[in-house]
Amino acid sequence: MKKLGHALRITLFLLPVCFIMQGCSRYAPIAPPPPQYQIMDIRITANDYISDEIYYYLAFEINSPLSTDGPDKSISGPEAAKNWDYYIRVYGNNFSEFFISNEEDIDKEPDVFDSTSPRFYYTQISGDTIRIRLLIDQLTTPPDSIAFNFITSYYPISITETENYFATDYFEISRVDMTTEINAYTNSVQYSTASSHTIGENDDQAAEIIYWSVSIYEL
């Protein structure tokens, strides 16, 4: 009888302990899910509303080793799209993309850049600003370095065009580049002398880029 009473006292003592332990386990913090996306977030702001009549090019050099000069500003003639491995074009409120492997690719019409592209995450035109978020790990292998140039023009790129067309605004320093590691960031303030800030035909300031930024982060 004494043994039964002793066992009963132990059981009654352990019940609240087990309850407390289960309660702690039930309400323990849950670790957040791992990031799913590695985003390159690009913002370009013009000196007026984004125009349907202007070509906005985001040209990237992604193949190592990078050239000394990065993506060239030329949009026509033998130097057109020199060092462009990949570009996104914004024209007529439409986004498109293309990989350039050889000179014959330069005059080809680019592909639509939307949810059908493995690099697409988000695009927006709002007033004077273009915003593009793409999946950087679908473009290159982080933390590889890339070089880029933001170019505006009244004409599409063409290596066969005999007229000597010029870009309106572009980076005129040797090379603008960055690593693609998480939390990398750069903008036009850090490269304050990069943009040519050329006013376009008919003083169309929509072709002048007055601010840009590029950031890389996880979502």
Mean of the pLDDT values across residues 81-109?
A: 97
- Range list of β-strands (E), the chain: 38-46, 55-61, 86-91, 94-99, 111-112, 120-126, 129-135, 145-153, 176-179, 185-187, 209-218
Can you tell me the distance from the alpha carbon of 39 to that of 32, in angstroms, rounded to the nearest whole number?
18
Mean of the pLDDT values across residues 72-82?
A: 95
Partner residues linked to 158 by β-bridges: 76
Can you tell me the distance from the alpha carbon of 96 to that of 56, in angstroms, rounded to the nearest whole number?
11
Mean of the pLDDT values across residues 84-100?
A: 97
Mean of the pLDDT values across residues 48-71?
A: 96
Can you tell me the distance from the alpha carbon of 85 to that of 80, in angstroms, rounded to the nearest whole number?
12
Tell me whether residue 23 is in a domain.
Answer: no
Mean of the pLDDT values across residues 23-47?
A: 81
Q: Does position 174 have pLDDT exceeding 90, yes or no? A: no
Residue owning tokens 């840009």: 212
| SS3 (DSSP) at 142 | coil
In this predicted structure, what is the pLDDT of residue 73?
A: 94
| SS3 (DSSP) at 219 | coil
Q: Does position 22 have pLDDT exceeding 80, yes or no? A: no
* 152 and 208 Cβ atoms separated by less than 8 Å: yes
Question: For all residues of the chain together, what is the average pLDDT?
Answer: 88
Tell me whether residue 30 is in a domain.
Answer: no
Instruction: Show the domain range for 137.
Output: 38-218
Tell me whether residue 172 is in a domain.
Answer: yes
Tell me whether residue 87 is in a domain.
Answer: yes
Run of H or E including 22: helix 2-26
Can you tell me the distance from the alpha carbon of 179 to that of 150, in angstroms, rounded to the nearest whole number?
17
pTM for the predicted model, two decimal places: 0.84
Number of folded domains that form the chain: 1
Using pLDDT thresholds of 50, 70 and 90, give the confidence band for residue 173: confident
Tell me whether residue 1 is in a domain.
Answer: no
